[in-house]
Amino acid sequence: MTEISRRKYAQSAGIAIVGVAAGAAIGYGASSLRPSVAPERVVTQTVTAGEKTVTKTVEAGAGISAEELEKLKERAFPPADVTPYRWKAPWLPKYFVDTRKWIREPPWVIGFTVPFMGNNWKAIYQAEVLEWAKNNPKVEEVIWIHHNNDASDQIAGIRDFVSKGVDGIVVDCASATALAGVYKEVWDAGIPLVSTTDPIDSTYYVSATVPSLEDRGYKLAKGMCELMGGRGNIIRFWGMKGASWEELNQIGFDLALAEYPEVKTVATGVGLWDYTESKKAMRELIPALPEKIDGILSDSGQMTLGIADALEEAGFDVSKIVMTGDPTNGNLLRAKKENLRYIAAGANVYEGREACKVLSNVLEGIPVQKNYPFECRIWGPEECKKLADPDLPRLVDMDTTFIYYEKGRKLLKDLFMALGFE
């Protein structure tokens, strides 16, 4: 660090430490820091830490007030029970977390809890985590639990992780509000917790890897409205009402639809982020639909695939309907073969794996950001056609990292065959 940069740091901290002051306060030698102007005041204090006594001298620049001098003394002289000269890099942003108190000796046992399992997206999500853990020698085990979207059961599961004394916990929460209390319990127990995928109404976590869901929903809905020419009839689907993931996507939908008053929602359904449930729900809505449907607004590709199949069976020409969802391969294949107008937004199916990577840094004492907001990637109609892959099952979410190497592609095929997914 040069003399100029040292002086700039002192000024940014609100004090004018020069010469010996800078050397003494942060533990550097003073020979190269001698000021060119003699100071008006000198402050000296003797600090005892254990058996060691240190005398420190701080020279204050001309014109410093008594109040500023006291602030200077507070910054330069820590309490006697604090190790002298402990220095913190001035450029370390406040949004980074000092993780040294959570250091654990590997191999680690990680508790991972999710609201539910059962659909294609969660299957890939879990596989991303477990494949990462299998290839990490510092991880002994990932204990994976799910709770059928029951927040109370998830709270009990997290408490069980605490009683087992796991080294760290990753939580994809069932409810942004219901789980806030148990986050504090984990914090008080001294176990590092990383929150992922679904936002939580709490600050009692070490770090979070969450997608920008309102932005995701907004871009999907706006893209649909633009391709419709700003007018027409749409069917709007929810994954699950009350889930924080869904609520935030729907907020984004509302923000975009407010810009297009001539876009009319003529039917709404709940598809539980599942192909079969969405197809069933759409069949129930069909008798009351108008003759012309211009758009399907959904945040889930497997839901959209079920909706489209139900509409096609009922005689609707789905090639004329603008559709949205995540990059589920079946929708992409239809876009490629039938010129379907499809807009996809990634749901970051790799995000749980990234949360585990962050947790491993925490357990090694490496500073991490408090929040890692993951932007969701967007694919327009032509990009969707390029992403389609006839060699993979149609319910594969093509946002997964597995599609980029042969072993990963085989893993996807074997996984979907074992689970009975298309």
What is the pLDDT confidence band of residue 323, given thresholds at 50, 70 and 90?
A: very high
Q: Which residue in 375, 386, 399 sits closest to 325, CA to CA?
A: 399
Average pLDDT in the 348-361 region? 96
Average pLDDT in the 208-237 region? 94
89 or 390: which carries more pLDDT confidence? Answer: 390
- Any alpha helices (H) in 44-150, and if so which ranges? 66-76, 120-134
Lowest pLDDT segment from 6-10, 176-180, 182-186: 6-10
The pair of structure tokens assigned to 306 is 């079920």
Residue 3 has pLDDT above 50, yes or no: no
Residue 194 has pLDDT above 70, yes or no: yes
Q: What is the pLDDT of residue 374?
A: 85
Rounded distance between C-alpha atoms, residue 18 and residue 35, angstroms = 6
Q: What is the pLDDT of residue 385?
A: 96
Describe the strand order of the beta sheet including 52-60 as a list of residue ranges.
Answer: 17-18, 52-60, 41-49
Q: Scanning the structure block, which residue is given the tokens 């009990």? A: 156
Residue 8 has pLDDT above 90, yes or no: no
CA dihedral (330, 333, 339, 341) in degrees, to 10, reads: 40
Residue 201 has pLDDT above 80, yes or no: yes
Rounded distance between C-alpha atoms, residue 172 and residue 157, angstroms = 12
Among 10-24, 157-171, 206-220, 264-278, the range with the most confident prediction by mean pLDDT is 157-171
Pairing of strands 41-49, 52-60: antiparallel
Residue 92 has pLDDT above 70, yes or no: no
Residue 9 has pLDDT above 50, yes or no: no
Residue 10 has pLDDT above 50, yes or no: no
pLDDT tens digit string along 121-165?
999 999 999 999 999 999 999 999 999 989 999 999 999 999 999
What is the pLDDT confidence band of residue 311, given thresholds at 50, 70 and 90?
A: very high
Q: What is the pLDDT of residue 74?
A: 59
Q: Which residue in 265, 240, 262, 269 sits closest to 253, CA to CA?
A: 265
Residue 204 has pLDDT above 50, yes or no: yes
Rounded distance between C-alpha atoms, residue 308 and residue 149, angstroms = 26
Residue 31 has pLDDT above 60, yes or no: no
Rounded distance between C-alpha atoms, residue 422 and residue 413, angstroms = 10
Rounded distance between C-alpha atoms, residue 69 and residue 125, angstroms = 56
pLDDT, mean over the chain: 84
Q: Which residue in 15, 88, 91 sits closest to 58, CA to CA?
A: 15
pLDDT tens digit string along 239-281?
988 777 888 899 999 999 999 999 999 999 999 988 999 999 9
pLDDT tens digit string along 293-304?
999 999 999 899
Q: What are the distances in angstroms from CA 393 to CA 349, 379, 381, 384, 420? A: 16, 19, 20, 16, 11
Lowest pLDDT segment from 60-69, 191-200, 243-252, 409-418: 60-69
Q: Phi first, then psi: what are they for 211, rounded to 5°?
A: -80, 160
The CB-side HSE value for 176 (13 A sphere, CA atoms) comes to 14
